[in-house]
Amino acid sequence: MATTEIPTVILPRAPQGEFRNEPFVDFSRHENAHAMREALTRVGDMLGHEYDLVIGGERLRTEGKILSKNPARPAQVVGIHQKAGAEHAEKAMQAALRAFETWKYAPVDERASLLLNAAAIIRDRKFEFCAWLTYEVGKNWAEADADVGETIDFLEFYAREALRLSQATTPIQYPGEHNELLYIPLGAGAVIPPWNFPFAIMAGMTSAAIVTGNTVILKPSSDSPTIAARFFDVLEEAGLPPGVVNFCPGSGATFGNAIVEHPKTRFIAFTGSKEVGLDIHERAAKTQPEQIWIKRTILEMGGKDSIIVSADADMDQAVAGVVASAFGFSGQKCSACSRAIVEEPVYDVFVERVREAVAGLKVGDPVENPNMGPVVSEGALKTIKEYIEVGRKEGRLIAGGNAIAMPEKGYYLEPTVFADIAPDARLAQEEIFGPVLAIVKTSDFDSALEVANNTEFGLTGAVYTQDRGKLDKARREFHVGNLYFNRKCTGAMVGAHPFGGFNMSGTDSKAGGPDYLYLFTQAKSVAEKL
């Protein structure tokens, strides 16, 4: 199975019409709720399966294992995975390099066809993949559906973008010459996705790399390797040649660092914390013996995202948007609203309205589709609880603040809100990645903008106001990569909201946008004299 021949079973599949975002599932409809429950039962019967490393089409097992556990029921093993070590890095790289020699010449319509075939498979099995997300990372039905829908969107969008990029031309044709501008692949690279969008971000980075002709060593998060294994199965079903993607769960400190530092690694696409992203960037920047290129890093890192609530805001919309942004998926999103910055005239009313709204949120096993499920791990629970203790000293607790004991011993926390937080407090500056909201009072809109810009991050933000002048000022001065007016700051849609942030939020990669595939290519200018 080590051959790198391009299978003849790949049939060119043309995109059907213009790109359209995958519609959300309406779970209030009986037939959809029934289908989801059936999928949860089917997937529940598949939990605990052991998955192999797959390198160059060869399936391998290791002595060390990674156990993926259901955060709602930690005794329940979702999947057993092999643990790639530093000793597997060379094997994976050689497999990716061998596959690159043929894959880089595969016609773009064949590469795009692979993505479209994968999108069709996932669409047909949407509820099944939603169920895997519910079990492995604790997403409720709507959050799981959004993750699966975004996965389909990335596959469909990047297939079309690859076809568009293949038709690129130079701005002018110089007299007496034929001029071409070709976007060619970089080589073999690493894809290191996060656990919080373990399907969409993992599939998006992987598909962008391979549709442009690169090959990939995929190292999924140890908190969510089963979703990645299931996606790898889909790629194989869709016609993936051996070695184009190599599935390698493993430790970041051993296998991950070995791949990042390998002299033949051409690029690293990473989504995760600021600390890990900066470490990858530093390791990639150090030139290794026999390295002949500058490694490219595509980094999506943290956020400390703010929603400004102006005195003239529609209070119903503002409260709903802040609560949805802060507590969707238990606040475990880099785009989550971590700070509500509220003008003084409406501050007291807003605080009380948020307290009332949060009191209505239901926390429980995501299989039962509550508003909030568990946080992802025991380590995450411990860290968030430590921040809650910091918040008790820095502000006024108005909601939550406690862990929730469940019979299954899952990692549950109450949605927690602190008011009267100073703009420079730890709770207002550090990324928590959990269901904790800090509310900051400001005197006016100008000071609110100053607070919104006072962190090292610059990912998402939102403004609630009916004043066109304030919106125009925010458009100019609110320094984030994704800015939203009179709507929540989470829920970026592929194509409509290219996603990526400024400052320590990363390299502003703009996933799901028209520029993203350029990051996985290099431009070659060809001129022929006539």
Residues annotated as catalytic are 300, 334
Backbone angles phi, psi at 503, to 5 degrees: 55, -130
Interatomic CA distance for residues 462 and 488, integer angstroms: 6
89 vs 352: CA distance, rounded Å? 54
Q: How far is residue 194's CA from residue 199's CA, in Å, rounded to a whole number? A: 9
C-alpha–C-alpha distance, residues 303 and 456, integer Å = 9
User: How far is 496 from 339, CA to CA, in rounded Å?
Assistant: 24
Number of C-alpha atoms within 13 angstroms, CB side, residue 55?
21
Residue 246 φ/ψ, nearest 5 degrees? -115, 120
- Nearest C-alpha neighbor of 139 from the set 374, 359, 406: 374
Phi and psi torsions of 511, nearest 5°: -60, 145
Strand 73-82 and strand 65-70: the pairing is antiparallel
Q: Tokens for 78?
A: 């979702």
149 three-state secondary structure? helix
How many C-beta neighbours within 10 Å does residue 16 have? 10
Cβ neighbours, 10 Å, residue 97: 17
